[in-house]
Amino acid sequence: MEQSLTIYNSLSRVKEVFEPLHAGKAGMYVCGPTVYSNAHLGHARPAITFDLLYRYLLHLGYKVRYVRNITDVGHLEDEVEETGEDKISKKARLEQLEPMEVVQKYMNTFHRNMEELNTLPPTIEPRASGHIIEQQVMIRRILEEGYAYEVNGSVYFDVHKYNNHYRYGILSGRNLEEMQANTRRLEGQQEKRNPFDFALWKKATPEHIMQWPSEWGMGFPGWHLECSAMSTKYLGEVFDIHGGGMDLQFPHHECEIAQSTAALGHPSVRFWMHNNMITINGQKMARSLGNFITLDELFSGNHPLLTGAYSPMTVKFFILQAHYRSTLDFSNEALVSAGKGLERLMKAIALLEKLPVSPSASVDIAALEKNCCAAMNDDLNSPILIAHLFEGVRLINLIGEGKETITEEGLDRLKNLFRVYLFDILGLKPEESSAAGSETVRQLVDLTLEVRSRAKNNKDWTTSDFIRDELGKIGIVVKDRKDGTEWEMKN
Amino acid sequence: MEQSLTIYNSLSRVKEVFEPLHAGKAGMYVCGPTVYSNAHLGHARPAITFDLLYRYLLHLGYKVRYVRNITDVGHLEDEVEETGEDKISKKARLEQLEPMEVVQKYMNTFHRNMEELNTLPPTIEPRASGHIIEQQVMIRRILEEGYAYEVNGSVYFDVHKYNNHYRYGILSGRNLEEMQANTRRLEGQQEKRNPFDFALWKKATPEHIMQWPSEWGMGFPGWHLECSAMSTKYLGEVFDIHGGGMDLQFPHHECEIAQSTAALGHPSVRFWMHNNMITINGQKMARSLGNFITLDELFSGNHPLLTGAYSPMTVKFFILQAHYRSTLDFSNEALVSAGKGLERLMKAIALLEKLPVSPSASVDIAALEKNCCAAMNDDLNSPILIAHLFEGVRLINLIGEGKETITEEGLDRLKNLFRVYLFDILGLKPEESSAAGSETVRQLVDLTLEVRSRAKNNKDWTTSDFIRDELGKIGIVVKDRKDGTEWEMKN
């Protein structure tokens, strides 16, 4: 039986077989960051989740158009009430920069962090401020369809009217009547007919730095609109996959669905995918709780909650060890353990290159291949995939110890399996966090230990101890065993 | 006498003292790439020239807003006749991608190359396609001022009328009447009143992929317009410096001046700066001549014209060894020689860390400091600066050989001078082409040589030779000298 990729569709709430709209091609849109501060742990999970999806679709042979936006305007401090300053304008005021200097600075950091995490760049990375016309065109279309109204130079989406024809709340499972019964959000919202209406276009006061002319006067687009406008522009009126963090389901994605459906007359997304959140020692991550850890802090260890630095690949492996729809709790213990697991995997990869082959095999690589493929096809089940890779590690070690055997062809397949699943699909890579990974360092340490071994044979204990002690000072720990000498670098 | 930065102003054709418009702040706009193919040698020179300017302005204490655009729409195949396909659309057709996928791909490569060349990113990097509204606003202003006319959904700049009030050709030293007398450009230009008129907005045919709505119908902006619109938006109606390659003086910068002056009623740029071109073995670089070398090819050596790979710092040093307004001819010999020069500099830097100090000095660091500063203040004269740094190298070597002396304070100043001029201002950096730069490698080799020295003291020539031979196999060449042992890594 041929295996097919199944994806859990947040909209239908079941796993569905992924069939692309156009044979051989896949289109995916993922909500990217609002670039007003350094990328943090919360940015790493969607980035890694949808990188996994992108890499797997490429592996399956699809030509993938992967669009991930940069929000550089319209994201207000209070997302739900749609009040307060624009997040980027506020930072610009505090840092005494032009808003687009703030955007450039944090976009550059985000890109660097994404590269450190070895995630592939999207094929198109559109910016909200670069698509004002496209957003205005969509507003006009929604107005023409009768699902929006203009008040004092602002345009609001008419949720009530939309809900009469379509259903507002379809993604998040909410019901407008119930929501209205349970809300007290009315004060200061005089412009809105309904407290759940949301802005498509907001009138700008003169002191507002980012504003553009429109037929409704000077203003700026509402936060939800950019994704509807840019996904339609680059992926079409119907496209395959829309991804993002679970925290974006409501109101952001719900509003996206409403906007696109109102403008186009039909829904545009076939598969909605949402990654779950990361908690820190069991708590939600929030600036106010002091448990807000940026990726740079994580990689350098420079944060009071961290007992050490965690390399980008350790962080990535930690995230991939949980299924993307599961919650994931950050703790130093979990990260240390992820680092050790990754080290075991990478050590096995090194051993893999030196394994002896036999005329016949006692291990079954085909079964392993099938299991890895099945794990990925089951809604990108990376933790199960990793468990199978550890089964591969067990086989590698047994073959290395001479307790199992493998043929040359089997060994080629095993090497290929690790290359494909570990490097290409999971997107992990060997790290030279210390100089330990450097070939020259390895050769030099081996030479030094060879000289030491000669000294020991000559009973020259002074030289032997001198070498061990000096290596220790450099950070290289020497362990004498019965069957030889091992060494490792301290971190 | 206090030294001041002087800049050669291409507009006035003399060196002028740089005084910023706003005390303590400097604004600079530099024409960036049209991202439809890989960055080549021709992109490296403006990038490095204006990186040098940016770094020097930062060194002088200015708060710099450095805007460099990305052209992702409107650049037609024939820039002068304004005909042919949009360069990006054409590539999109050939590569079967969406135009913005082409843009993303080559923009990513450009950014990577710029990072390899250790140039600092601009503080704002606006894209033409992201500023359609701003360009439309400027067109409207030019139309209102009477310096443009609409024909069949396109808008053209009226060069003749502009020339009656201002002067078209002021930057490039051309004269409209003479140009008209010498041109035969008339056929197929029926829409234009004058062959030198240029498009501000072009009507798009339905098959044109990149197009936006406007009051003149669906279309796209002319190539020259983006720079006028984006420089005004991010730097204001008057700003300090505009830079670019000399090939952009006409028509691009000439048209920019005309647009901004027509719209604003006054010129907007105070200092125009242009870097000269790079030739390849004496010839202009052109795809048709087969001498078109991309930066990736240069760094990897993968091009028939190259006898080897040249590292990014070698390429950068080669470019900085010529003044930015001089022509510069690429040849393998010149690059090899630049690589050797850079190596001598970097070796001296390493020696600098180990120099002995004396109670009194025979060398004059103050004079060297003054000379370096004067070179940079003289229109960024990097080759003269480099000559002074080599004078510093000569002093370092003489002090190392005990033929000259330096005090502790003098040594600190000398170290600081190299840090400031070589690293901060020229933006060069040590390269780890091999593992030689790794601290761990250095420590390990030193330890091994220490063990070897002990063996020699014990007349254990076997061990001593073994260590030397094994180090040689790893690529480390040991040289025994009278006063000790030196080593270096083979490349």
Shortest alpha-carbon distance between residue B454 and chain A (Å): 9
| Lowest mean pLDDT, pick from A36-40, A255-259, B156-160, B485-489 | B485-489
Neighboring chain A residues of B105 at a CB cutoff of 8 Å: 123
Residue B35 · residue B287 · CB < 8 Å: no
B440 and A434 within 8 Å at the Cβ level: the answer is yes
Residue to substitute from A107, A123, A141, A478, interface B, most B β-carbons within 10 A: A123
Residue of chain A whose alpha carbon sits nearest to that of B442: A441
| Chain A residues 173-212 within an 8 A CB cutoff of chain B | 212
Neighboring chain B residues of A130 at a CB cutoff of 8 Å: 127, 129-131
User: What's residue B435's pLDDT?
Assistant: 42
User: What's residue B149's pLDDT?
Assistant: 98
Shortest alpha-carbon distance between residue A353 and chain B (Å): 21
Residue of chain A whose alpha carbon sits nearest to that of B127: A130
Confidence of residue A436 (pLDDT cuts 50, 70, 90): very low
Supply the mean pLDDT for chain A: 93
Supply the mean pLDDT for chain B: 93
Cβ of A110: how many Cβ atoms within 10 Å?
A: 20
Residue of chain B whose alpha carbon sits nearest to that of A454: B463
Spatial CB neighbours of B459, under 8 Å, sequence gap ≥ 6 = none
Q: Does B120 touch chain A (CB under 8 A)?
A: no
One-letter amino acid for residue B331 of the chain: S
Residue B328 · residue B322 · CB < 8 Å: yes
CATH class of A6-275: alpha beta
Retrieve residue A371's tokens: 């299991």
| Chain A residues 273-332 within an 8 A CB cutoff of chain B | none
Residue to substitute from B234, B451, B462, B469, interface A, most A β-carbons within 10 A: B451
A451 and B471 within 8 Å at the Cβ level: the answer is no
User: What's residue B3's pLDDT?
Assistant: 76
For A444, the closest of B434, B445, B454 (CB atoms) is: B445
Mapped onto helix, strand or coil, the DSSP state of residue B145 is coil
Q: Does A491 touch chain B (CB under 8 A)?
A: no
User: What's residue B1's pLDDT?
Assistant: 41
User: What's residue A2's pLDDT?
Assistant: 55
CA distance B231 to B244: 13
**Cα angle vertex A74, ends A68, A76, to 5°?**
115
User: What's residue B104's pLDDT?
Assistant: 97
CA distance B170 to B256: 12
Question: Domain spans of chain A?
Answer: 6-275, 279-425, 435-489
Cβ of A183: how many Cβ atoms within 10 Å?
A: 11
Mapped onto helix, strand or coil, the DSSP state of residue A337 is helix
Q: What's the mean pLDDT in A313-323? A: 98
Spatial CB neighbours of B209, under 8 Å, sequence gap ≥ 6 = B89, B92, B98, B99
Query: Which tens digit of pLDDT belongs to each residue from B162-202?
Result: 999 999 999 999 999 998 888 765 555 579 999 999 999 99
Residue to substitute from B443, B464, B476, interface A, most A β-carbons within 10 A: B443
Neighboring chain A residues of B441 at a CB cutoff of 8 Å: 435, 438, 440-441, 444
Q: Is the pLDDT of residue B408 over 90?
A: yes
Residue B204 · residue B86 · CB < 8 Å: no
Neighboring chain B residues of A125 at a CB cutoff of 8 Å: 104
Neighboring chain A residues of B445 at a CB cutoff of 8 Å: 444
- Phi/psi region, residue B250 (left: phi>0; alpha: psi -120 to 50; beta: rest), is beta
Q: What's the mean pLDDT in A296-302? A: 94
How high is the ipTM of this complex? Answer: 0.86
A130 and B129 within 8 Å at the Cβ level: the answer is yes
B127 and A130 within 8 Å at the Cβ level: the answer is yes
A474 and B447 within 8 Å at the Cβ level: the answer is yes
Q: Is the pLDDT of residue A126 over 70?
A: yes
Retrieve residue A150's tokens: 């203009």
Q: What's the mean pLDDT in A32-47? A: 95
Q: What's the mean pLDDT in B220-227? A: 96
For B443, the closest of A65, A439, A474 (CB atoms) is: A474
User: What's residue B47's pLDDT?
Assistant: 97
Distance of CA B490 to the CA centre of its chain: 31
> Any idea what DSSP says for residue B127?
B
Residue among A218, A214, A192 at smallest CA distance from A204: A218
- Determine which helix (DSSP H) or strand (DSSP E) holds A274, and give its type and residue range: strand A269-275
Q: Is the pLDDT of residue B442 over 90?
A: no
Q: Assess whether the previous peptide bond of A206 is cis (omega < 30° from 0).
A: no
Q: Does B94 touch chain A (CB under 8 A)?
A: no
A100 and B234 within 8 Å at the Cβ level: the answer is yes
Retrieve residue A364's tokens: 């079954």
CA distance B160 to B421: 48
CA distance A57 to A144: 38
Q: What's the mean pLDDT in A476-484? A: 80
Q: Does B491 touch chain A (CB under 8 A)?
A: no
B431 versus B305: the higher-pLDDT residue is: B305
| Lowest mean pLDDT, pick from B32-36, B220-224, B280-284, B485-489 | B485-489
Q: Is the pLDDT of residue A186 over 60?
A: no
For B125, the closest of A104, A124, A234 (CB atoms) is: A104
Residue B249 · residue B10 · CB < 8 Å: yes
CA distance A188 to A186: 6
Q: How many CB pairs under 8 A join A and B?
A: 114
CA distance A237 to B235: 38
Residue B352 · residue B372 · CB < 8 Å: no
CA distance A420 to A408: 18
Residue to substitute from A66, A135, A447, A477, interface B, most B β-carbons within 10 A: A447
- Phi/psi region, residue A281 (left: phi>0; alpha: psi -120 to 50; beta: rest), is left
Q: Does A29 touch chain B (CB under 8 A)?
A: no
B104 and A98 within 8 Å at the Cβ level: the answer is no
B133 and A234 within 8 Å at the Cβ level: the answer is no
Q: Is the pLDDT of residue A14 over 80?
A: yes
User: What's residue A56's pLDDT?
Assistant: 98
Q: Does A443 touch chain B (CB under 8 A)?
A: yes
Mapped onto helix, strand or coil, the DSSP state of residue A148 is strand
Q: Does A467 touch chain B (CB under 8 A)?
A: yes
Q: Does A433 touch chain B (CB under 8 A)?
A: no
Confidence of residue B385 (pLDDT cuts 50, 70, 90): very high
B169 versus A437: the higher-pLDDT residue is: B169
SS3 of B420-470 = HHHHHHCCCCCCCCCHHHCHHHHHHHHHHHHHHHHHHHCCCHHHHHHHHHH
> Any idea what DSSP says for residue A120?
P
**Dihedral pair phi/psi, residue B48, rounded to 5°:** -75, -40
Residue A399 · residue A405 · CB < 8 Å: yes
A149 versus B353: the higher-pLDDT residue is: A149
Spatial CB neighbours of B126, under 8 Å, sequence gap ≥ 6 = A100, B67, B69, B70, B230, B233, B234
Q: What's the mean pLDDT in B138-151? A: 98
Mapped onto helix, strand or coil, the DSSP state of residue A118 is coil
Residue B18 · residue B271 · CB < 8 Å: yes
**Dihedral pair phi/psi, residue A264, rounded to 5°:** -95, -20
Q: Does A487 touch chain B (CB under 8 A)?
A: no
What number does CATH give the domain B18-275?
3.40.50.620
Distance of CA A155 to the CA centre of its chain: 33
Residue among B254, B355, B358 at smallest CA distance from B31: B254
A435 and B441 within 8 Å at the Cβ level: the answer is yes
Residue among B348, B331, B449, B444 at smallest CA distance from B389: B348
pTM above 0.90, yes or no: no
Lookup result for tokens 């004396």? B358
Q: Is the pLDDT of residue A187 over 80?
A: no
Residue to substitute from B124, B135, B449, B491, interface A, most A β-carbons within 10 A: B124
Query: Which tens digit of pLDDT belongs to each residue from A343-390?
Result: 999 999 999 988 999 999 999 999 999 999 999 999 999 999 999 999
B216 versus A445: the higher-pLDDT residue is: B216
Q: What's the mean pLDDT in B358-363? A: 96
| Chain A residues 97-116 within an 8 A CB cutoff of chain B | 97-98, 100-101, 104-105, 108, 111
Give bridge partners of residue B34 from the DSSP assignment.
Answer: B71
Neighboring chain A residues of B123 at a CB cutoff of 8 Å: 97-98, 101, 104-105
Neighboring chain B residues of A108 at a CB cutoff of 8 Å: 121
B438 and A435 within 8 Å at the Cβ level: the answer is yes
Lookup result for tokens 């203040």? B377
Query: Which tens digit of pLDDT belongs to each residue from B309-327?
Result: 999 999 999 999 999 999 9
Neighboring chain B residues of A120 at a CB cutoff of 8 Å: none
Lookup result for tokens 């490296």? B44
Shortest alpha-carbon distance between residue A174 and chain B (Å): 36
What number does CATH give the domain A279-425?
1.10.730
Q: What's the mean pLDDT in A295-324? A: 95
